Amino acid sequence: MVEATAAQWAMKGSGPNWFCNYCGCENPVYNETNCGYCGAPIGTVETTVGRKGVKLSAFVSTAGTATAYETTKVEHGDAGWGIPEERREVPSPISRVQRNESSRMETSGYRDEMPAISSPLMKDRKKLIAIAGGVIGTVLFGLIVWLIWYWNFDTVTRTCWVQGFHWEQTLGVEEYQTFSKTDWASEMPSDAYNESCTYSFKEWKKVEDGTEEVDVQTTCDKEVPGEPVCDDDGAGGVTNCRSTTDTIKVPCTVKEKRTKYKDVAVHEDKCTYNVDRWVELNRYTTSGEDHFPYYYGEVVEIPNRLRLVQYPNLGIYSVYFGSEYVDPFSRNYDLTTWSLFQPEQSCQVEVNRRNNVVGSPQP
């Protein structure tokens, strides 16, 4: 049973006034037998509107007054009975759900007009929650930082000892070769020999050649008449008036003294000469597990003008360590530091809380 509005209750009278239970629309006053929206016959289902349990069919109305109902229209459609042609162009009424929403909005409208009441207690509560969240976040962040430091950077000193060595060296075989080159005499190396020189033009060189005055565009200060300045005579007039000047910037040309230059031809001896230099012929890599790196393996004869060169910076020099506190580990050093370690030597090493070695033991 659907409640009728107050206007419907007042207007209810004889005539075709009813609600269609197929499409949910009020009787469009189309005819007395069918719904004007969906075409459903009146007698198919109960099509009454009730208020307080009373059917509207008990009241009298006319077809004319039915159109003046203060009603909330609902969506309608063809329920299978066929929409009459006269009603197809009529705008669709709004749905019963919308009518109910409108009714609820009308009855609760006074609530929307009431000013919002801001409770100081609620504001204080939100502030306390924000402060508590900030404190908790700060504590958690500090705890995370402390844990990272504790497990990785908080170290203790442990004892370890040298268990072994490993080295890899790069060696080069070089030959002392003679080269013939040509250069200006001022650029020849000091160990050049067998020179053969010819005096030749080398380049043009700029040298100072006195000074000269040139015109330079700039801005200058210029004095122009300014506003006169007078004293008050005490009677509404002025006395002791005197002229003034103002200073403004104006374009001007000034003389500037500059150094003059001239081009001078430079001649020098150009020489062909001989020079001896070591030239790398080949490289070899050697390695060992002892503490005495040297070239070994196939014997290489070093006759005159040949030499064997070691490249310490290209080598790898490792020390193996053992300890009763951590697993065996190794570290690489430069050749000078590596050579200071001795077999079975005791060393100190820093170990973090995760039992990992931090840094490198020193000899």
pTM of the shown model: 0.39
- Model confidence band, residue 110 (pLDDT cutoffs 50, 70, 90): very low
Q: Is 352 helix (H, G, I), strand (E, B) or coil?
A: strand
Q: For residue 186, is pLDDT > 60? A: yes
**Contact by Cβ (8 Å): 331, 175:** no
- Output the pLDDT for position 145: 85
Q: For residue 91, is pLDDT > 60? A: no
- Output the pLDDT for position 166: 95
- Model confidence band, residue 268 (pLDDT cutoffs 50, 70, 90): very high
Q: For residue 273, is pLDDT > 90? A: yes
Quick one: tokens of 86? 């006269």
3-state helix, strand, coil split of the chain in percent (to 5) is: 20, 45, 35
> What is the average per-residue pLDDT within 225-232?
86
- Output the pLDDT for position 304: 78
> What is the average per-residue pLDDT within 68-93?
45
- Which of 279, 338, 323 shows the shortest CA–CA distance to 163? 323
- Output the pLDDT for position 315: 85
- Rounded to whole angstroms, how far apart are CA atoms 172 and 286? 11
> Which stretch of 64-73, 278-287, 307-316 has the lowest confidence by average pLDDT?
64-73
Q: What is the DSSP string of 307-330?
A: EEEEEEEEEEEEEEEE-SSS--EE
Most confident of 5-19, 45-59, 166-180, 183-197: 183-197
- Model confidence band, residue 73 (pLDDT cutoffs 50, 70, 90): very low
- Model confidence band, residue 62 (pLDDT cutoffs 50, 70, 90): very low
pLDDT tens, 304-330? 788 888 777 788 999 999 998 889 999
> Which stretch of 34-38, 103-107, 275-279 has the lowest confidence by average pLDDT?
103-107
Reported as type and span, the H/E element at residue 136 is: helix 120-152
> What is the average per-residue pLDDT within 278-292?
89
In terms of Cβ atoms closer than 10 Å to its own Cβ (0-12, 13-18, 19+), residue 157 is: exposed
